[in-house]
Amino acid sequence: MTFQDLVTMPSTFPSWIKLIPGRGAGPSAGAIVVFPHAGAAAASYRVLAAALAAGADTYIVQYPQRADRLSEPAHETVHDLAVGLFEAGPWASVAPLQLFGHSMGAVVAFEFARVAEEHGVAVRKLWASAGPPPCVVADMPELPTSDDEVLAELADLGGTDPELLADEEFAELLTTAMRADYRAFNRYDPSPEVCIGADIHVLGGRDDHRIATEVLRLWENHTAGAFDLSLHDGGHFYVYEHVETIAAQVNADV
């Protein structure tokens, strides 16, 4: 990290980066950073973050166009989103980092890792959960962005209470956030060879109809470190059914 980096790095985290203080008995060994899936607010990951905090301080990032960042402009690309998240906080002061991202959040976390490593901030491991590896992005169809298409997508993905989707006000907020994220993903154009130095541990649901196990294995192409894969029972949002197990996996590395 250069002197200029230290001069420009903020000294405190903004309020939209949510901290759940660690409850570990020993001295801090870094921090865990959680990256939500497309359309989700940080609050969706409070339960997982609370479980992760048994091992270390845990931060949940908030993307623009939702919750306390509702009025902020949408991000142009996934990479731009990751840059903004990195520049928002003094990550070097809480490193080394473990990054946990679910679905699109896995890709945001990967880009965050790239930016962090470029700035000399240590990333110990990326936990990529149910997300597409960068090498397959070019061959993926564009994600939907109209209101009706986004609502249909949410219903297909699962993980959202159907009664909430039927609420017009809630549905409008959710589609606004998801549209912003999907547009950013549609503009994401990584090199198939892009790589990070940190280890990558991929997690997935055995019954996930959105991303196959053989696709998850392709994340191995994107690390110069160690690679591992763990599967759990469940679909695309299996993570909500295995909070304690997943937290134990991550915290075993803290």
Q: Rounded CA gap, 30 and 15, in Å?
A: 20
Per-residue pLDDT at 171 = 76
For the chain, 254 residues long, give each residue's pLDDT as a single digit of tens: 554 454 466 889 999 999 999 987 566 679 999 999 999 999 999 999 999 999 999 999 999 999 999 999 999 999 999 999 999 999 999 999 999 999 999 999 999 999 999 999 999 999 999 999 999 998 999 988 888 888 787 777 765 666 666 667 777 888 899 999 999 999 999 999 999 999 999 999 999 999 999 999 999 999 999 999 999 999 999 999 999 999 999 999 87
Which residues is 201 bridged to in the sheet?
Answer: 127, 228
Indicate the pTM of the whole model.
0.92
Per-residue pLDDT at 254 = 76
- Which of these, 53, 108, 54, lies nearest to 84 by C-alpha position? 108
For residue 5, which phi and psi values (nearest 5 degrees)? Answer: -60, -45
- Which of these, 121, 40, 103, lies nearest to 112 by C-alpha position? 121
Per-residue pLDDT at 200 = 98
Contact 92, 7 (CB under 8 A): no
Per-residue pLDDT at 1 = 53
Q: Which two tokens stand for residue 43?
A: 């609050």
Tally the domains of the chain: 1
Residue 132: CATH number of its domain: 3.40.50.1820
Per-residue pLDDT at 160 = 63
**Dihedral sign computed on CA atoms, order 12, 17, 20, 25:** negative
In the chain, the N- to C-terminal Cα span, in Å, equals: 23
Range of the domain at 112: 3-251
The per-residue pLDDT for range 120-158, each reduced to its tens digit, is: 999 999 999 999 999 999 899 998 888 888 878 777 776
The catalytic residues are 103, 236
